[in-house]
Chain A
Amino acid sequence: MQVRIEHLTKKFGDAVAVSDFSMNFDDGKLVALLGPSGCGKSTTLNMLSGILPVTSGKIYFDDDDVTNTPPQDRGVGICFQNYALYPHMSVLENIAFPLEIKKVPKEERLAKAREMAKLVHVDMLLDRKPKELSGGQQQRVAIARALIKTPRLLLLDEPLSNLDARLRLEMREEIRRIQQETGVTTIFVTHDQEEAMSICDKIVLMKDGYLQQEDKPQTLYDDPHNLFVANFLGNPPINNLYGTIQNGRFVLEDGSASIKIDNPNAKEGEKVVMGIRAESVTISKSGDHDFEAVIKQRYTMGKEELAFLNIGNQVIRVYLSSDYTYDVGEKVFLNLRQKGVFLFDQETGERI
């Protein structure tokens, strides 16, 4: 099912949680609503589920206007951060509960619940109570319960936040698998960019109630529309250098260093932020270079080595090439790649 929201706005008193948000969620896709806490992503999810009434704007499921439809009539399945399993019911009863409410005959609903349990791989735990399950297992049960009514839309509210790091990796693959097997349109709220990047077909990035950018994960990463998007995605975070454009070069604020740039839109004298991804810098000991820097600190991170470099009085993080060894305090020459280097307006944060 395709979900379309138009000019969606939610106010709590004077506080605006979501502001004039319009978006299409394509049929059968897994989409992440991504953003820092308080950006309005959970509020948006709750409006989609019908738990929260909208202040203004419209929500369409395919061609049905569901803006004022009560939650139970929308055909959505939801999975909360704390799983919201019913502690007094067994796994089987929990999964079957939505059908119990629908007054589906007992045999039929238990059969269906077993089938769902199989899909999410908890079919050996059917008689357990939720408190006898691990976090990941509870998550699976919650997803099965959300899916048993074959919802038109599956909503996942920070589904991985309560899991430890290993389990989180496993469960995000599981969510992807289950979503692809069932083909249900899924919207997934998270504040973890890595989670969103790794499993989603599309990322919708929000901040302070406003949509920042929406696109495929890789496009968002390679082509951020503003400084916030560039900063939010990527690990290690993108480097930010503050300075101005002078004679076609980027000059640091205090003039202590400059970088050759290749951007026809950069206007002379403009105050800008230069965003440089750690992997977009090549480092060498000699030869042609865009700028120079001094190695300040080195960190070995398993397969690669990360270094902090001083450029003028500012610091950037880059990956060291493994061809040479570099010493702390050594002067090095750096070249920028085409990809992963951006200029942003310092005031508006917009991409130049």
Chain B
Amino acid sequence: MKGDNIKKFFIYFFLALGAIVMVFPFYWMISGALKTAAEYNSYPPVWVPSNWLNFDNFVRAFQKAPFQTYFLNSLLVTLCSVTLTGIVTILGAFAFSRLRFPGRELIFSFLLAFMMVPFEMMVITNYQTVTKMGIINTIPVLIVPFTTSIFYTYILKNFFDTIPDSLYYSARIDGASNWKYLWRIMVPIAKPSLVTIMLLNAISSWNSFLWTSMVINSDKYRTIPLGLFAFMTEGGSDPKLQLAASTVSVLPMIILFLFARKYIVNGVARGGLKG
């Protein structure tokens, strides 16, 4: 019994230590954003801001740069991306899982092989393509190249494969078309898997930086990560304001994570970390 308690103590001790290491930067960011100049600059450091409702830094950051625009751009891009990618993924996974067409396995193997090509490799060709399409430096350029995802299609196809054929035949005999079967039967059954996919997609879309920085050069189309980056250089070097801006940029994802933790963890565990 005693040995058990000591073991438990060490387990919780190290878990707590890990949690503190993980959470501290977030705490420092949020508390820093709420501190006054005097509190922020004092030495030894002040750990707790005196007024938790001191939003001066946020107000000033928003005055210096159009974060509300960045925020709305990010929101728009993320929503469109999640919707379009969701639809394309569902249709693709259905085709690969349910429909019989020549070369299906071969095509799918090729797609899986393409997954090994890192995104950075495709940046230049993608850049040339969007330039030719004439959508560079617009909102669509942040959405269109990401409407298909082999990884998400693969996850969803695997889930679809686990749905017994008899459900399909049963629905077909009852007169359901492929389309009806997909949306009325398959998609509702695959909801957990779909939610995971959409969350992973939302996170990667919200955090997307490299591509955005290449194809967006006007202030009004900047998304949060890009705006934040620009703010670091353009908005002066007041770290309190940078912390306030950072807080705003990660807040939606933190909230999303708190509500949908189960699905995100599930997705990451299933497919290995990606996105």
Show the binding face of A for B, using Cβ within 8 Å: 49-51, 71-72, 74, 76-78, 80-82, 84, 86-88, 97-98, 101-102, 145, 149
Question: Looking at the complex, which one of B166, B172, B191 makes contact with A71 (CB distance below 8 Å)?
Answer: B172
- How distant is A85 from chain B, measured CB to nearest CB, in Å? 8
Contact in complex: A72, B170 (CB < 8 Å):
no
The 5 A-B pairs of least Cβ separation, nearest first, read A72-B175, A84-B166, A98-B174, A80-B166, A84-B170
How long is the Cα–Cα vector from A98 to B184 in the complex, in angstroms? 12
Bitwise interface map of B from 4 to 43 toward A, beta carbon under 8 Å scored 1, else 0 = 0000000000000000000000000000000000000000
Contact in complex: B175, A82 (CB < 8 Å):
no
Contact in complex: B174, A84 (CB < 8 Å):
no
A98 touching B175 in the complex, CB below 8 Å, given contacts A82-B164, A88-B189? yes
Contact in complex: A84, B167 (CB < 8 Å):
yes
B117 part of interface (Cβ distance < 8 Å)? no
Contact in complex: B173, A88 (CB < 8 Å):
no
Closest to B170 in A: A84
A-B contacts counted at CB < 8 A amount to 51
Contact in complex: A97, B167 (CB < 8 Å):
no
B185 part of interface (Cβ distance < 8 Å)? yes
How long is the Cα–Cα vector from A177 to B180 in the complex, in angstroms? 34
Question: Looking at the complex, which one of A78, A86, A87 makes contact with B173 (CB distance below 8 Å)?
Answer: A78
How long is the Cα–Cα vector from A86 to B166 in the complex, in angstroms? 10
Cβ contacts under 8 Å, B172 to chain A: 51, 71-72
Closest to A151 in B: B173
Contact in complex: A84, B188 (CB < 8 Å):
no
Contact in complex: A86, B174 (CB < 8 Å):
no
Contact in complex: B169, A84 (CB < 8 Å):
yes
Cβ contacts under 8 Å, B166 to chain A: 80-82, 84
Question: Looking at the complex, which one of A81, A87, A149 makes contact with B174 (CB distance below 8 Å)?
Answer: A149
How long is the Cα–Cα vector from A81 to B172 in the complex, in angstroms? 17
How long is the Cα–Cα vector from A72 to B175 in the complex, in angstroms? 4
Cβ contacts under 8 Å, B169 to chain A: 49, 51, 71, 78, 80, 84
If A71-B172, A88-B191, A145-B170 are given as contacts, then 13 extra A-B residue pairs at C-beta distance below 8 Å, sorted by A number, are A50-B173, A72-B175, A72-B176, A78-B170, A81-B166, A97-B171, A97-B174, A101-B171, A101-B174, A101-B176, A101-B180, A145-B174, A149-B174
**Most chain A beta carbons < 10 A, residue from B169, B170, B171, B189:** B170
Contact in complex: A71, B167 (CB < 8 Å):
no
Closest to B172 in A: A71
From 176 to 202 in chain B, residues with beta carbon under 8 angstroms from any chain A beta carbon are 176, 180, 185, 188-189, 191
How long is the Cα–Cα vector from A125 to B221 in the complex, in angstroms? 55
Show the binding face of B for A, using Cβ within 8 Å: 164, 166-167, 169-176, 180, 185, 188-189, 191
List 14 A–B pairs whose Cβ atoms lie within 8 Å, in order of A's numbering: A51-B169, A51-B173, A74-B173, A77-B173, A78-B169, A78-B173, A81-B166, A84-B164, A84-B167, A84-B169, A86-B167, A86-B189, A87-B189, A145-B170
- How distant is B182 from chain A, measured CB to nearest CB, in Å? 13
Cβ contacts under 8 Å, B191 to chain A: 88
How long is the Cα–Cα vector from A19 to B191 in the complex, in angstroms? 43
Contact in complex: B175, A86 (CB < 8 Å):
no
How long is the Cα–Cα vector from A87 to B184 in the complex, in angstroms? 12
Contact in complex: B173, A49 (CB < 8 Å):
yes
Cβ contacts under 8 Å, A49 to chain B: 169, 173
- How distant is A45 from chain B, measured CB to nearest CB, in Å? 11
Contact in complex: A71, B189 (CB < 8 Å):
no
How long is the Cα–Cα vector from A77 to B175 in the complex, in angstroms? 11
- How distant is B164 from chain A, measured CB to nearest CB, in Å? 6
How long is the Cα–Cα vector from A97 to B173 in the complex, in angstroms? 11
How long is the Cα–Cα vector from A72 to B172 in the complex, in angstroms? 6
How long is the Cα–Cα vector from A145 to B169 in the complex, in angstroms? 13
Closest to B173 in A: A71
- How distant is B187 from chain A, measured CB to nearest CB, in Å? 10
How long is the Cα–Cα vector from A97 to B181 in the complex, in angstroms? 11
How long is the Cα–Cα vector from A81 to B185 in the complex, in angstroms? 19
Question: Looking at the complex, which one of B164, B167, B173, B180 makes contact with A76 (CB distance below 8 Å)?
Answer: B173
Cβ contacts under 8 Å, A71 to chain B: 169, 172-173
Cβ contacts under 8 Å, A51 to chain B: 169, 172-173
How long is the Cα–Cα vector from A78 to B174 in the complex, in angstroms? 9
- How distant is B51 from chain A, measured CB to nearest CB, in Å? 49
Closest to A87 in B: B189
How long is the Cα–Cα vector from A87 to B188 in the complex, in angstroms? 9
Cβ contacts under 8 Å, B173 to chain A: 49-51, 71-72, 74, 76-78
